């Protein structure tokens, strides 16, 4: 049984993971990260899970790393840090990951948000990378993914200045995809997830991979990847079903093959 | 925390917060700010409070910042007035505006400077007939703060907002009512009783729904029409799940008086 996360199993193919470490505003201690990585690996392997929503509490999505834990680690300890592997597994999750963010998403919490594909936030959410205030820097993608998400000047202001930004600012900058009432954040994220879960799974998987490539590759290579993925899908039964259903003006029934 | 500069009580769902430095027309010093902040924290945390009533003791409501707290000696370094705005005034008006319950302000006398703008961050403003509002900032080279420059043009229009802010003239309570700056003028002797009666009435109403109404109307200044329609949809979704809505419908169907709980 995981200690720091709660899981609601697939309803309509959607799994909901709730970070649950209220005494520390869901600070991402190593054990929590390990549980999350393991749970995402299990969701990846489970054919009934088509999309995952991850959320925290009303007050905090995740307010950073566990500072006490970090303080105990010296240079050698950081070289051997097991967290790196957990983060890699989280970022490698192949199915759609939707973050439902209320309250603080700071430091590791903000980096976790950036591992998600889609981000729905309550209108009083706050995003930031305050590591600089402690004499350290973001260590789980903050300096890299933030620049890709919001552009250099704002990324620099957040990483060097350490001040959090509002949900409105985050939406305007492209860090998140939608703002909603805080009480409805999880519900809206589940709704989006259910929509995705009803699509053709192979198409969803390749579409996610293709969009992520756009952040990593030059345009020509990205377009080549997209073309390959597009071609791969030509052989699937779901493609034939999707097109036929459209022509016959009825909902499609996808089988994942 | 025991309060020296404010009176604060909670009774029958109504939190009564009265500024209490009558000799200084209830002007704000640091200690009063801290006490108001603590009281508002209790309002936010208490499950019993369903309405907040803000008023002042003595002949004034609030004369804004206590200038003796900010005396600038000749040759002294330039002060950073932004600090007290950021520390105290902005959080105060934000809290009043964001509190998920109706906030009534009973302006019992002169309301000057920040004291003229704090009521504007409240939801329902009553004023004593003898009260008046003065955007005094321009007289000492300052800018209206505590949300004044944002709220004034929205409440009374740009032309009147600029005249108030740049001339700093006294606006009578009756004129303020005519201009739509405040809800209602009340005879001086009746202000406290009427404000309390209004607060007690609201405290028996579906206050969760009232808080959602407040949220939607506050947001309307920022939103476009379509965005506001979406907000109405979302807030109605929340309101529809409340116990008070069930109670309201059931009481209506059964032709009885509803007993609302504010949730």
Mean pLDDT of A201-206: 96
Q: Which two tokens stand for residue B176?
A: 């303020």
Mean pLDDT of A74-84: 87
Mean pLDDT of B29-34: 94
Long-range contacts at B197-203 (CB < 8 A, ≥ 24 apart): B198/B104, B198/B124, B198/B126, B199/B14, B199/B16, B199/B51, B199/B53, B199/B104, B200/B12, B200/B13, B200/B14, B200/B51, B202/B50, B202/B51, B202/B102, B202/B104, B203/B12, B203/B13, B203/B14, B203/B50, B203/B51, B203/B262
Chain A residues lying within 8 Å of B234, measured CB to CB:
180-181, 184
Contacts of B220 by beta carbon, 8 Å cutoff, 6+ apart: B228
Q: Which two tokens stand for residue A159?
A: 């990483």
Is position A131 annotated as part of the catalytic site? Answer: yes
Give one DSSP letter per residue of B204-216, joined into a string. TS-HHHHHHHHHH
Sheet containing B170-172: give its strands across: B60-62, B110-112, B132-134, B170-172
3-state SS, residue B223: coil
pLDDT-wise least confident of A15-24, A75-84, B14-23? A75-84
**Is the per-residue pLDDT at A181 higher than 90?**
yes
Contact A183 B238 (CB under 8 A): yes
CA distance B231 to chain A (A): 8
Pick the residue from chain B with its C-alpha nearest to A181.
B234
Mean pLDDT of A15-30: 95
Q: Which two tokens stand for residue B127?
A: 């004023």
Pick the residue from chain A with its C-alpha nearest to B234.
A181
3-state SS, residue A14: strand
User: What is the rounded average pLDDT for all residues in chain B?
Assistant: 95
Cα-Cα-Cα-Cα torsion B103, B106, B110, B116, nearest 10 degrees, comes to 20
Contact B7, B57 (CB under 8 A): yes
pLDDT-wise least confident of A66-70, A231-235, B49-53? A66-70
Q: Which two tokens stand for residue B45?
A: 């945390």
Chain B residues lying within 8 Å of A183, measured CB to CB:
238
Contact A197, A189 (CB under 8 A): no
3-state SS, residue A65: strand
Choose the catalytic residue: A56, A111, A198, A242: A111
- Residue A67: predicted pLDDT: 85
**Is the per-residue pLDDT at A116 higher than 80?**
yes
Say how far apart CA A18 and CA A8 lie, in whole Å: 8
**Is the per-residue pLDDT at B67 higher than 90?**
no
Tally: H helices and E strands in chain B: 11, 10
Contact A184 B237 (CB under 8 A): yes
Pick the residue from chain A with its C-alpha nearest to B241.
A183
Mean pLDDT of A176-202: 96
Pick the residue from chain A with its C-alpha nearest to B235.
A181
Q: What is the pLDDT of residues B201-218, one digit of tens each?
A: 999 999 999 999 999 999
Chain A residues lying within 8 Å of B231, measured CB to CB:
181
Say how far apart CA A62 and CA B186 lie, in whole Å: 49
Q: What is the pLDDT of residues B90-125, one digit of tens each?
A: 999 999 999 999 999 999 999 999 999 999 999 999
Contact A200, A238 (CB under 8 A): yes
Contact A183 B231 (CB under 8 A): no
pLDDT band, residue B2 (cuts 50/70/90): confident
CA distance B57 to chain A (A): 35
Contact B262, B210 (CB under 8 A): no
Mean pLDDT of B83-89: 93
ipTM (interface pTM): 0.78
CA distance A186 to chain B (A): 13
**Is the per-residue pLDDT at A257 higher than 80?**
yes
- Residue A72: predicted pLDDT: 85
Chain A residues lying within 8 Å of B235, measured CB to CB:
181
Give just the sign of the alpha carbon dihedral B20, B21, B24, B28: negative
**Is the per-residue pLDDT at B198 higher than 90?**
yes
- Residue A79: predicted pLDDT: 86
Is position A13 annotated as part of the catalytic site? Answer: no
Distance from the Cα of residue B98 to its chain's centroid: 10
CB pairs under 8 A between A and B: 9
**Residues in A 169-188 with any Cβ partner in B closer than 8 A:** 180-181, 183-184
**Is the per-residue pLDDT at B70 higher than 90?**
no
For chain B, the residues whose C-beta falls within 8 A of a C-beta of chain A are 231, 234-235, 237-238
**Is the per-residue pLDDT at B1 higher than 80?**
no
Mean pLDDT of A114-142: 96
Is position A24 annotated as part of the catalytic site? Answer: no
Task: Confirm or reject contact between A102 and chain B (CB < 8 A).
Answer: no
User: What is the rounded average pLDDT for all residues in chain A?
Assistant: 95
Chain B residues lying within 8 Å of A120, measured CB to CB:
none
Mean pLDDT of B238-251: 94
Sheet containing A104-106: give its strands across: A60-62, A104-106, A126-128, A165-166
CA distance B237 to chain A (A): 9
- With tokens 């303080």, the residue in question is A71
Interface test with B, best of A168, A180, A181 (most B CBs within 10 A): A181
Contact B238 A180 (CB under 8 A): no
Say how far apart CA A24 and CA A28 lie, in whole Å: 9
CA distance A48 to chain B (A): 30
- Residue A73: predicted pLDDT: 86
**Is the per-residue pLDDT at B73 higher than 80?**
no
Angle between helices A30-45 and A83-91 (to 10 degrees): 30
Is position A235 annotated as part of the catalytic site? Answer: no
pLDDT band, residue B160 (cuts 50/70/90): very high
Mean pLDDT of A194-202: 95
Mean pLDDT of A205-233: 95
Say how far apart CA A125 and CA A108 lie, in whole Å: 15
Angle between helices B207-220 and B191-203 (to 10 degrees): 110
Say how far apart CA B37 and CA B34 lie, in whole Å: 5
**Is the per-residue pLDDT at A10 higher than 90?**
no
Pick the residue from chain A with its C-alpha nearest to B222.
A168
């Amino acid at each position: 049984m995981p200690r720091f996360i709660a899981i609601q199993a697939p309803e309509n193919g959607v799994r909901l993971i709730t970070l649950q470490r209220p005494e520390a505003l869901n600070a991402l201690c190593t054990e929590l990260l390990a549980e999350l990585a393991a749970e995402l690996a299990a969701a990846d392997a489970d054919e009934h899970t088509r999309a995952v929503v991850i959320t925290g509490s009303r007050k905090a999505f995740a307010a950073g790393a566990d500072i006490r834990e970090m303080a105990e680690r010296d240079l050698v300890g950081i070289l051997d840090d097991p967290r790196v592997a957990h983060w890699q597994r989280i970022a490698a999750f192949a199915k759609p990951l939707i973050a439902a963010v209320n309250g603080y998403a700071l430091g590791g919490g903000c980096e976790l948000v950036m591992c998600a594909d889609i981000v729905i936030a309550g209108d009083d959410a706050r995003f930031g990378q305050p590591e600089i205030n402690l004499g350290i820097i973001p260590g789980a993608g903050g300096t890299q993914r933030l620049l890709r998400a919001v552009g250099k000047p704002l990324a620099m202001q957040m990483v060097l200045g350490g001040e959090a930004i509002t949900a409105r600012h985050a939406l305007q900058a492209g860090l998140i995809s939608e703002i909603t009432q805080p009480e409805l954040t999880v519900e809206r994220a589940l709704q989006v997830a259910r929509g995705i879960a009803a699509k053709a799974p192979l198409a969803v998987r390749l579409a996610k991979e293709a969009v992520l490539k756009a952040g990593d590759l030059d345009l020509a290579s990205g377009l080549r990847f997209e073309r390959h993925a597009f071609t791969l899908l030509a052989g699937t039964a779901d493609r034939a079903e999707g097109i036929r259903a459209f022509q016959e003006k009825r909902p499609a029934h996808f089988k994942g093959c | 925390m025991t309060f020296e500069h404010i009176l604060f009580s909670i009774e029958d769902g109504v939190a009564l917060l009265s500024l209490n430095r009558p000799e200084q027309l209830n002007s704000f010093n640091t200690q009063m700010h801290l006490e108001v902040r603590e009281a508002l924290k209790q309002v936010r945390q208490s499950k019993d409070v369903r309405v907040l009533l803000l008023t002042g003791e003595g002949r004034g409501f609030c004369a804004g910042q206590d200038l003796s707290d900010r005396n600038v000696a000749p040759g002294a370094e330039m002060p950073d007035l932004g600090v007290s705005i950021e520390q105290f005034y902005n959080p105060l008006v934000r809290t009043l505006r964001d509190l998920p319950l109706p906030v009534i302000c009973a302006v019992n006398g002169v309301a000057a400077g920040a004291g003229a703008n704090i009521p504007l961050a409240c939801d329902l403003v009553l004023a004593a007939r003898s009260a008046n509002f003065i955007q005094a900032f321009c007289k000492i080279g300052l800018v209206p703060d505590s949300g004044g420059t944002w709220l004034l043009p929205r409440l009374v229009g740009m032309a009147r907002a600029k005249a108030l802010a740049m001339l700093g003239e006294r606006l009578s309570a009756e004129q303020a009512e005519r201009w739509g700056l405040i809800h209602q003028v009340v005879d001086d002797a009746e202000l406290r009783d009427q404000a309390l009666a209004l607060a007690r009435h609201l405290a028996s109403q579906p206050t969760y729904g009232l808080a959602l109404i407040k949220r939607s109307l506050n947001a309307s200044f920022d939103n476009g029409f379509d965005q506001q329609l979406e907000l109405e949809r979302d807030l109605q979704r929340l309101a529809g799940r409340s116990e008070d809505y069930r109670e309201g419908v059931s009481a209506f169907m059964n032709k009885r008086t509803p007993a609302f709980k504010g949730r």
